[in-house]
Structure 1
Amino acid sequence: MKIRQVILFLFLIVVFSQLYLSSFRINFVIQFIVLFVMLLLNEFKISLKILSLLTPLFLIFTIGFLGFFGNHFEFIHLVKDITHFLKPILGLTLGYLFFQKIEFKAFVKTIILTGFFMALFHICLVLSNSKLSIENMNELRNDFGKDNFLECFSLLFLCFYAKFFDDKIFKKRIAHYIIFFTLLVSCILYFSRTMLAVVVLAVLTIYGYTKINSRNIKIFLGLVSIVGVLYIYLFSVKLDRNAKGLEAFLYKVKIAPEEMFKTKIDRENHKELWDHWRGYEAKRALKLMEENPLSYIVGTGFGSLIDLKFKAPLDQEGMRYISETHNGYIYIFYKTGIIGLILLLYFLSRFYRYTYFAYQFVPVFIGVIGLSFFFTTLTITGIYNTRDVIVLILGGLLVFSSRPNVFKQDS
C-alpha cells in the first residue's frame, strides 16, 4: 500500500471516529496510536516551526500541574484533564503530519470530499427520520448532530478555491454543484448558530473585513448597529421558549448573549437556569476561585472540579460536579489561571495575524481558523472541544504555509 493511501486511511479513521464516536477516551487512544504509527513510518518529521507554534499549548499544559500539587483530586479526573489539554496538541500535530507528503490541491480535495461524504451520510440520516420538519429542529439536532465544522470548512474551501487560483478544484461542473448543494443542505440541517457565525467570520475575513483599520472599524460599527436593531426587534416580540421551528431558532438567537454572560441566575427557576446554563457554569467556577486567590494566577489545576451546588440532569444519574465549562476562556482560566488564559490568547492571535500576510488561500484560511477559535472558545470550548476537527485542517494548512512555491506548482 502506498504511503499516501496509508495517510488517507489514517486520516479518515481519526476524523470519522472524532465525529461519530461519542467516547473521548477511545478517540484519544485512537489518535495517539495513529501518531505513533506515523512516527514509526519514519517518513514524517515535526518541524521546529510547528513546535514553536505549539509552545503556548505546552506551557498551558505544564501550568495545569501547578494547581494540582498540594490538592487531593481523584485520579480519574486528573487523567481526564491531562488528556483534554493534550488533545489540541495531538490534533495539530496529526494534521501537520497527515498532509506532509501530499500536494496542496490533493489536501483541499481530501477535506472537501471527506466533508461531502459526511454531509451525504448526515442528509440520509435526517431523511430517514419520519418526523422530518423544521418544527422538529431540536429533535433533529439531538438525534443527528448539532454541528460539523469539517463540513463547514469543506463548503468554504469549495466556494472560495477559485477565488485564489485560476483553476477549478473539480473539472466537471456537475460534480462541483452536487458537492456544493449536498454540503450546503447538510450544514443548514444542523441549525447551528455557531456554524453560521463561523461562516460569517470566514466570509468577512476572506474579503478583508476582519483586519483592524479605519474602514473596517466603521463597517464593524455598522454591523453592530444592524445586530442591535435585530435584537431590539427580537426583544419587542414574544418568542415562546417551547416553540418549534423558526421561532425556536430565533429564541435561541435572542438569549445567546445572556446565555453566555448572565451570571445572576435563580437556580430554583429551571427555565432561567437552562436558558443561561453557560453563564451559571462560569459563575460557579469564578466563585470557587475566590476561595484560593492563588488560583487566579495558576488556576485550580488538573483534576479540579466545579461544584454546581445541585445535581444537574447532564446524564442519567445527574451531575453535581463538572470538570469543564462551555466557555473555553473560563475553562482555561479556572484550570490554569490568568497565565494560561494569556497564553491561549497569544496562541490564537498568532493565527489571526496570518490575515495580514499575503492574500493567498493558505494564510487567509489560517486567519479564518484563528478567528473561528476566538469565537468558538467562547461558546463550545474552541480548540479544547473534545469533538473539534478544525485543528486537523489547521495542521494541514500550516504544512503549506511553509512551502513558498506551493501555489505556483499546484495552481
Structure 2
Amino acid sequence: MKIKLSNEWPYQLLFLIAVIFSYVNFYELSLAVWLIILFITVKRYYSKTIIILCAFYFALVVFGITRAFFYQHNLYDIIRDISYFIKPIVGLLIGYQCFRSKDNNFFLTTIYVALVISIIHFALLANAFMTYNINYVHQIRYYGGYFSDFETYAVIILIFHKKFQLNLSTRERITLLTIIGVSLCLYLARTNMIQFIIISCGLFGLYQLSKKKIIIISALILCGIFSYKIIYDMNPSRTATGFENFLFKIKNAPKEIYDPYVVNDDSPRFHDNFRSYETKITILQILNKEDGGLWFGNGFGAIVNYGTTIHTNDATQVKYSPILHNGYTTVFLKTGIIGLIIYLASMFYLSFLGEKTDDKYLNNVKLLINSTGIFLFISTLIFLGFYLKLDNKSLFVGGLLAYYEILNKEKKCIK
C-alpha cells in the first residue's frame, strides 16, 4: 500500500497531531497542543459558514462568563470552564485551517489518520495483555479506550467509498477497513454503534423524507425496538463478563439518560444510572435557587454537589463536578435555558447546512455534514458532544466544512 504525500503534508501532519492528542487523557496538555496548532495554521480568510458555527459556541462562552459575575465562584473553576467551553471553537478552526486545497483530500487524510490511531490502539492493548493479563470487557476498555468517533468516521468513509470517490484499490480498501474496523470493535462502544447507524442512514438519504424513506425509517425503528426487547428479555447480568456485559449496558442505556427514581444509596441502580443521577440533582440544584438560574444558568465556575465521594474511571475521587456526562445538563447548569437554545441552534444549523445540488459528490459530502449534526443531538446526551475532553468530532467537522467549501468553490469556477 503506497501512501503518497501531497504538498499539504505539513497540515496533514498537524491535523494528525491534533487528533492523536485528543485521545490523551490530560486535558491541559491536549488543549495546549491544540492552541499551538490553531495559531500555526491561521488562515487569512474564513467563510461565513464557519464564522456562524463558531459564533454559537462563542456566544455560550460570553454568556457563561457574564453570568459568573452574579456569583462568587472560585476563579480557578471559572478559568477551567472557559477552557472547556472554548474547545469546540478551537477544534472546528483547527480542522478548518488544516484543509486549504483539494490536494489535501479530506477523506484519504481521515482514513490514514485513523490507521495511525488504530495501530496505537493495538499497541496499547497488546501491552495491557502482556503486562496485566486482561480478561474482561471493562479492562479492555480501561486500557484501550472507551470509544473512537474518528475511527468510526473512517470506517463509514471506507464502506461508502463510492460516494466519496476514494482512489484506493480493493485490496487497499479491505486492508484498511479490516485494521480500523477491528480496532473500532475493540472499544465495545454503544455510542459508536449509534454513530455508525445514524450517519449511515444519512448517507443513504433517509433523512430526505419521502413516503418510501418514511417506511424504511419506521421499519428500522421497529427493528431497533424489537432487538432491544429481545436483549431486555434475555436479562443479561450486570456482573457478567465478555459480551453479556456489553448486552447489559445496551439494556440499561435508556435509564442512563434519565431515571427519575435513582437516588444516592450506593446501590447497583445508582452506579448503573449515575449519568441520570447527575441530571436529576443538577435540575434540582438550579430550581432550588430563585435567582434566574433556570433561564440564565449559574455561570462559569458553577459546580454540582454529588452529596458523596464518587470513584471515576480515571481512578480519582470527586464530590463536586464542574462538567457532567450529559452535555445538555452541563450547558443548562452554566447558561440555563437560553444557553440550551443557543446550543441546540448550533446543531440545527449543522444538520441543515448546505444546499442540495446535482453534483453527487458534493451532495454526499453535505449529507455527511448533516448526519453528523443529527448525531450530535444523541452524543450530547451521553458524552457531552463537542464539549467532551476527549472529543475530536469538532476537528472532523471543521475539516469537512473546509473541504466542502473547496469543492463547492471549484464547481462554481467550472460553471
TM-score, normalized by the shorter chain, greater than 0.5: yes
Instruction: Please list, as runs of the form range in 1=range in 2, the aligned pairs for 1:89-108 lying within 5 A after superposition.
Output: 89-103=89-103, 106-108=105-107
SS at match of 2:308: strand
Going from structure 1 to structure 2, the CA distance change for 1:409 and 1:22 (only over 3 Å counts) comes to farther
Residues 184-229 of structure 1: CA distance to partner in whole angstroms, max 9, x if unpaired? 1111111000001100011111111123444444433333332332
Q: Using the alignment, how far apart are the partners of 1:134 and 1:320 within structure 2?
A: 30
Q: Secondary structure at the match of 2:237?
A: coil
Please say if 1:16 is aligned against 2:13: no
Structure 1 gap ranges (5+): none
C-alpha contact (below 8 Å) 1:45/1:97 kept by paired residues: no
2: CA distance, partners of 1:44 / 1:114: 26
Note if contact 2:297-2:332 (Cα within 8 Å) is conserved in structure 1: yes
Give, in angstroms, the shift of residue 354 of structure 1: 3.8
1:252-331 alignment to 2 at 5 Å? 252-293=249-290, 294-314=292-312, 318-331=317-330
Displacement of 1:240 in angstroms is 1.2
Q: How far apart, in 1, do the equivalents of 2:346 and 2:337 lie?
A: 14
TM-score, normalised with respect to structure 2: 0.90
Tell me the equivalent position of 1:381: 384
Secondary structure, aligned partner of 1:200 = helix
Corresponding residue to 2:237 among 207, 222, 240: 240
Do structure 1's residue 193 and structure 2's residue 190 form an aligned pair? yes
**Are residue 176 (structure 1) and residue 173 (structure 2) matched?**
yes
* Cα displacement (A) at 1:9: 2.5
Residue 349 of structure 1 aligns with which residue?
348
1:107 CA displacement: 2.0
Corresponding residue pairs, total? 402
Output the CA distance in 1 between the equivalents of 2:391 and 2:315.
25
Name the structure 1 match of 2:121.
122
Distance 2:112 2:254 in 1: 35
% same residue: 25
- SS in structure 1 of the partner of residue 265 of structure 2: coil
Spell out, residue by residue over 1:277-316, the C-alpha distance to the aligned partner (whole angstroms, 9 max, x if none).
Answer: 1100001110110122411111110000001111112265
Instruction: Report deviation, 1:135.
Output: 5.7
- Take 1:89 and 1:149, find their aligned partners in 2: how far apart are those partners? 18
Tell me the TM-score normalised to structure 1 length: 0.91
Contact 1:162 1:169 in 2 (8 A): no
Q: State the partner residue of 1:77.
A: 77
Measured against aligned partners, the alpha-carbon deviations of 1:351-373 in whole angstroms (never above 9, x if no partner) come to 11148733523201101211121
- Secondary structure at 1:303 match in 2: coil
Give the equivalent residue in structure 2 for 1:369: 372
